[in-house]
């Protein structure tokens, strides 16, 4: 007999409620849960692909060890014992271990409860994560302004009348640093109440197509637009901070004067958006209506990522929309990490590339490969990769491929042999997705409603399999034991979760949350900023000197000529998730998605036709990719999705191999980063594009 289990999907930040119908260990269907308190029945195609992931024949079920270039299955005890012994021997030689944490670790609360013990046991000296490929600028801004790296204000879309999205594509990504399942329907509802959605993006994205207005912007130049909007608010006398005056510190007064030297015409020329459009955005944001500006990857992962995110906060304050219903608001989740986890840190660290920002003790990924390639005693010789695929996700993947080959010990926590884990000495695979429980630990604090939703595992663990958290906890214990250190008892994730829930203001127990399979709705967000700030004086620190200095650095760059090369941007598709889930036949269906999108005029001037191979070159490398001509991309801009490149030798993904694509990150560059956060620059990459035949003829 079949049973139906309510659960939340763990793939992306939306955390949609799903209903999984199973009979024995067979998955009969995965559907949206219409009663889920947050997602209201919405799912995307990736949810059903969880079944493919669960049943994927390419998924590893036992630890594997590389012996003479071949993978050999071994037992868990042998794997843990050998890894611990090798690590300790290397440490005995003075080698400093490194760890990289990939994106899926943020979607597995069990990992979060055990990873610090493993880091301590390993003695991780160099800590890296996907955060410095993604959202570190947000953390820097939140830390300086609000006093906590994770204290984020998200658009209250359900009560907003004007939403300006810059460099985000939630219709495909389902939201980021903003847990907003069912985005498209929420936009429909916004428009039904005469609200407006305006999108700024170099591509006419899925989100842009839903919008009332879409403006093309030259990649990497949004800072000019943001300054233009802010200046228009100040100069037009539209600023209204009355709602927040009691919690704005004195540095608020420094912002308007810092903009005096900017000329709106020059800003407009720089970014390609008309002065009137900027002024209209300012007027709409500052009008007597709840409104919000939100910016994501397109404005985070660029040279001025931190400055952009700061300007976005400042615009929301100046236009009277921060901490306002329908503006941007700070969630009060059932599990309140803001109260339970420390404020985080923004410091600097010595790296192979000199002094670099170090946020939450992490080092920038732009330095990762070079730390393995350096020749002195500081070289990284052992590396633990937890749920990550940096060869495809970090800049200059080819360099990283070379760097990983130099390691004396590499361990991957992954269920597949990927572009990255193929370099490992050991791969430690977790159980299937339906054999683990789930709680959206990091996403309650980013959700558009205050809520709680816990999903128990649906299937029992199979003989010989372990969850990620067990693998992490057991490896940590083995290392500590071999090292003669105290071995702590394992505290199960469920216990940690229960304690954290009970210690949060909502005071729920895990049993109460578990008893509500559709989740518990704690209501819409409320104005609560004053009580949530974690700065020393309880005020918003409006204008950190670093941000004001960065404004001046941007000002100095304004007059300079911009290169006339094409600018490369990335893209996401609703049927993909970063570099994985590419092994699901049902997600891979349809035309090849790894194409070079190019404007018809740019294609014509290079003699490119639809479907022909183009050669794309950046400072670091060259790749060949089929052309897709579309007027949905701005002239002067080309786009390649990230996450492809499964044709590299030794990858064990038989389905993905049919459409392996090429990696955009073979073109991105470790030399380029946002100096305030250390975040990689993955958009607005200067490239040249040529027809492949032309290239051959010229040689
Ligand atoms: N050019 C360009 N590059 C980008 C981006 C971009 O927009 N453009 N986006 C960046 C962003 S935002 C991110 S977050 C990063 C992502 O970068 P990464 O986190 O490094 O890469 P993922 O592709 O998410 O790879 C996740 C890996 O974890 C494995 N995995 C999945 N689930 C589990 C699990 O439950 N347990 C274990 N043990 N393993 C699991 C998968 O098999 C896969 O190998 O990429 C970044 N790179
Ligand atoms: N389907 C799917 N969903 C995902 C993921 C996925 O891979 N696939 N990944 C998940 C992850 S890890 C993350 S971090 C989120 C990311 O979530 P989003 O940020 O919403 O997703 P992106 O598609 O990276 O959107 C960035 C947008 O910025 C635009 N852009 C590029 N350069 C510029 C620029 O210079 N200026 C402006 N204004 N726009 C620019 C791009 O065209 C793109 O539309 O998505 C998550 N959800
Ligand atoms: S949007 Fe899709 S992948 Fe993301 S949580 Fe919802 S169903 Fe899962
Ligand atoms: Mo991400």
Residue 390 pLDDT more than 60?
Answer: yes
Ligand nearest to C-alpha 30:
3
- Alpha carbons within 13 angstroms on the beta-carbon side of residue 187 total 23
Distance from the CA of 485 to the center of ligand 4, in angstroms?
36
Q: What 8-state DSSP symbol labels residue 594?
A: -
Q: pLDDT tens digits, residue range 506-545? A: 999 999 999 999 999 999 999 999 999 999 999 999 999 9
Q: pLDDT tens digits, residue range 273-318? A: 999 999 999 999 999 999 999 999 999 999 999 999 999 999 999 9
Is residue 75 within 8 A of residue 65, CB to CB? The reply is: no
| Spatial CA neighbour of 168 closest among 135, 136, 132 | 135
Ligand nearest to C-alpha 42:
3
Tell me if 287 CB under 6 Å of ligand 2. no
What the block records as the tokens of 313 is 């906060």
Task: Give the residue extent of every domain in the chain.
Answer: 3-55, 64-124+379-438+454-518, 148-334+536-552, 563-698
Distance from the CA of 469 to the center of ligand 3, in angstroms?
22
Tell me if 80 CB under 6 Å of ligand 1. no
Of all protein residues, the one whose alpha carbon is nearest to atom 46 of ligand 2 is 173
Would you tell me the crossing angle of helices 493-503 and 109-122 to the nearest 10 degrees? 110
Q: pLDDT tens digits, residue range 273-283? A: 999 999 999 99
CATH of domain 3-55: 3.30.200.210
How large is the average pLDDT for residues 433-458?
Answer: 97
Tell me if 581 CB under 6 Å of ligand 3. no
- The CATH fold of domain 148-334+536-552: Dimethylsulfoxide Reductase; domain 2 (3.40.228)
Q: pLDDT-based confidence at 409, cuts 50/70/90? A: very high
Residue 5 pLDDT more than 50?
Answer: yes
pLDDT recorded at residue 472: 98
Which helix (H) or strand (E) segment holds residue 142: the answer is helix 136-146
Residue 697 pLDDT more than 90?
Answer: no
Is residue 311 within 8 A of residue 223, CB to CB? The reply is: yes
Ligand nearest to C-alpha 393:
1
Query: Exposed, middle or buried by CB within 10 Å (0-12, 13-18, 19+), for 295?
Result: buried
- Alpha carbons within 13 angstroms on the beta-carbon side of residue 177 total 26
pLDDT recorded at residue 695: 59
Is residue 298 within 8 A of residue 639, CB to CB? The reply is: no
Three-state DSSP state, 225: helix
Question: What's the N-to-C CA distance of the chain in angstroms?
Answer: 67
Residue 699 pLDDT more than 50?
Answer: no
Tell me if 109 CB under 6 Å of ligand 1. no
Three-state DSSP state, 85: helix
How large is the average pLDDT for residues 535-564?
Answer: 93
Residue 560 pLDDT more than 90?
Answer: no
Going from the C-alpha of 514 to that of each of 7, 37, 494, the distances in angstroms are 10, 14, 11
pLDDT recorded at residue 302: 97
Backbone angles phi, psi at 150, to 5 degrees: -105, 5
Tell me if 111 CB under 6 Å of ligand 1. no
How large is the average pLDDT for residues 196-214?
Answer: 98
Distance from the CA of 387 to the center of ligand 1, in angstroms?
7
Domain 64-124+379-438+454-518 has CATH 3.40.50.740: yes
Is residue 308 within 8 A of residue 299, CB to CB? The reply is: yes
Q: pLDDT tens digits, residue range 87-138? A: 999 999 999 899 999 999 999 999 999 999 999 999 999 999 999 999 999 9
pLDDT recorded at residue 22: 98
Would you tell me the crossing angle of helices 264-271 and 222-235 to the nearest 10 degrees? 150
Distance from the CA of 237 to the center of ligand 1, in angstroms?
45
Residue with structure tokens 């300054």? 227
pLDDT recorded at residue 694: 64
Pocket test for ligand 2, best of 44, 570, 572, 668 (most atoms within 8 A of CB): 572
Q: pLDDT tens digits, residue range 128-179? A: 999 999 999 999 999 999 999 999 999 999 999 999 999 999 999 999 999 9
Residue 563 pLDDT more than 80?
Answer: no
Going from the C-alpha of 266 to that of each of 269, 275, 555, 565, the distances in angstroms are 5, 9, 10, 21
Residue with structure tokens 């990497």? 220
Tell me if 672 CB under 6 Å of ligand 1. no
Three-state DSSP state, 382: strand
Across the strands, what pairs with 7? 18
Q: Using CA atoms, how far apart are residues 525 and 530, in angstroms rounded to an integer?
A: 14
Backbone angles phi, psi at 434, to 5 degrees: -90, 5
Domain 563-698 has CATH 3.30.930.10: no
Q: Calculate what percentage of the chain has a pLDDT beyond 90.
A: 98
Which helix (H) or strand (E) segment holds residue 348: the answer is strand 346-351
Distance from the CA of 386 to the center of ligand 1, in angstroms?
10
- Mean confidence (pLDDT) of the chain: 97
Total residue length of the chain: 699
Give start and end residues of each alpha helix (H) in 465-594.
468-482, 493-503, 510-514, 529-532, 545-558, 585-588
Which helix (H) or strand (E) segment holds residue 350: the answer is strand 346-351
Distance from the CA of 11 to the center of ligand 3, in angstroms?
6
Tell me if 102 CB under 6 Å of ligand 1. yes
Tell me if 272 CB under 6 Å of ligand 3. no
Going from the C-alpha of 483 to that of each of 42, 83, 381, 475, 476, the distances in angstroms are 49, 12, 19, 12, 11
Q: Which atom of ligand 1 is nearest to the CA of 682?
A: 1
Buried b (16+ CB within 10 A) or exposed e, 563-595: eeebbbbbbbbbbbbbbbbbbbeebbeeeebbb
Across the strands, what pairs with 204? none
Q: Using CA atoms, how far apart are residues 206 and 200, in angstroms rounded to an integer?
A: 12
Is residue 574 within 8 A of residue 186, CB to CB? The reply is: no
How large is the average pLDDT for residues 611-635?
Answer: 98
Q: Using CA atoms, how far apart are residues 148 and 540, in angstroms rounded to an integer?
A: 11
Tell me if 15 CB under 6 Å of ligand 3. yes
Q: pLDDT-based confidence at 561, cuts 50/70/90? A: confident
Is residue 378 within 8 A of residue 371, CB to CB? The reply is: yes
173 phi-psi bin (left φ>0, alpha ψ -120 to 50, beta other): alpha
Is residue 536 within 8 A of residue 467, CB to CB? The reply is: no
Output the pTM of the full model. Answer: 0.98
Q: What share of the chain is helix, strand, coil (3-state, %, to 5)?
A: 35, 20, 45
Query: Exposed, middle or buried by CB within 10 Å (0-12, 13-18, 19+), for 697?
Result: exposed
Tell me if 313 CB under 6 Å of ligand 1. no
What the block records as the tokens of 314 is 């400042």
């Amino acid at each position: 007999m079949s049973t139906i289990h309510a659960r939340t999907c763990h793939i992306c930040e939306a955390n949609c409620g799903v209903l999984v119908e199973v009979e024995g260990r067979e998955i009969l269907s995965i559907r949206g849960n219409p009663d889920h308190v947050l997602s209201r029945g919405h799912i995307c195609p990736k949810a059903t692909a969880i079944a493919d992931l669960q049943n994927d024949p390419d998924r590893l079920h036992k630890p594997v060890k590389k012996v003479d270039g071949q993978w050999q299955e071994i037992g868990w005890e042998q794997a843990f014992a050998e890894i611990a012994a090798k690590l300790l021997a290397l440490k005995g030689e003075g080698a400093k271990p490194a760890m990289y944490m990939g994106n899926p670790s943020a979607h597995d609360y069990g990992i979060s409860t055990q990873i610090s013990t493993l880091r301590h046991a390993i003695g991780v000296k160099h800590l890296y994560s996907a955060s410095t490929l993604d959202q570190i600028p947000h953390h820097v801004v939140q830390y300086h302004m609000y006093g906590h790296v994770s204290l984020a204000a998200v658009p209250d879309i359900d009560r907003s009348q004007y939403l300006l999205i810059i460099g985000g594509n939630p219709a495909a990504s389902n939201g980021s640093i903003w847990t907003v399942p069912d985005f498209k329907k929420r936009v429909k509802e916004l428009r039904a109440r005469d609200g407006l959605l305006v999108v700024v993006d170099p591509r006419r994205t899925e989100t842009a197509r839903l919008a009332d207005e879409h403006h093309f912007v030259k990649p990497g130049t949004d800072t000019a637009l943001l300054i233009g909007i802010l200046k228009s608010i100040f100069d037009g006398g539209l600023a209204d901070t009355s709602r927040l005056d009691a919690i704005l510190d004195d540095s608020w007064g420094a912002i308007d004067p810092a903009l005096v030297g900017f000329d709106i015409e020059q800003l407009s020329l720089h970014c390609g958006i008309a002065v009137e459009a900027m002024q209209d955005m300012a007027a709409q944001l500052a009008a007597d209506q709840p409104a919000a500006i939100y910016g994501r990857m397109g404005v985070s992962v660029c040279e001025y990522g931190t400055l952009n995110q700061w300007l976005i906060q400042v615009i929301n304050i100046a236009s009277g929309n921060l901490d306002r219903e329908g503006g941007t608001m700070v969630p009060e989740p059932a599990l309140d990490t803001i109260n339970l986890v420390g404020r985080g840190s923004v410091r600097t660290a010595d790296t192979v590339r000199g002094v670099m920002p170090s946020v939450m003790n992490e080092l920038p990924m732009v330095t990762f490969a070079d730390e393995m390639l350096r020749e002195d005693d500081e070289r990284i010789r052992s590396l633990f990769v937890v749920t990550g695929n940096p060869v495809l996700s970090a800049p200059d993947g080819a360099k990283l491929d070379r760097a990983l080959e130099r390691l004396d010990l590499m361990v991957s926590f992954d269920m597949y042999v990927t572009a990255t884990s193929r370099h490992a000495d050991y791969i430690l695979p977790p159980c299937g997705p339906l054999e683990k429980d789930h709680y959206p630990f990091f996403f309650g604090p980013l959700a558009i409603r205050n809520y709680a939703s816990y999903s128990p595992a649906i299937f029992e663990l199979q003989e010989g399999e372990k969850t990620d958290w067990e693998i992490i906890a057991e490896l940590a214990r083995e290392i500590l034991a071999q090292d003669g250190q105290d071995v702590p008892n394992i505290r199960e994730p469920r216990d940690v979760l229960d304690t954290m829930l009970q210690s949060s203001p909502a005071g729920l127990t895990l049993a109460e949350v578990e008893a509500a399979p559709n989740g518990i709705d704690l209501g819409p967000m409320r104005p609560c900023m004053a009580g949530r700030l974690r700065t020393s004086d309880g005020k918003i620190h409006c204008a950190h000197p670093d941000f004001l200095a960065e404004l001046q650095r941007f000002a100095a760059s304004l007059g300079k000529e911009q290169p006339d090369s094409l600018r490369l941007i990335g893209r996401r598709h609703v049927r993909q998730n970063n570099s994985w889930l590419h092994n699901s036949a049902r997600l891979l269906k349809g035309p090849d998605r790894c194409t070079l999108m190019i404007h018809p005029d740019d294609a014509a001037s290079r003699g490119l036709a639809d479907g022909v191979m183009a050669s794309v070159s950046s400072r670091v490398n060259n790749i060949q990719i089929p052309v897709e001509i579309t007027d949905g991309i701005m002239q002067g801009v080309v786009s390649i999705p990230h996450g492809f490149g499964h044709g590299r030798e030794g990858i064990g993904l038989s389905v993905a191999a049919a459409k392996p694509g090429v990696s955009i990150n073979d073109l991105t560059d470790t030399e380029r980063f946002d100096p305030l956060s250390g975040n990689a620059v993955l958009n607005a990459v200067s490239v040249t594009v040529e027809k492949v035949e032309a290239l051959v003829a010229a040689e």
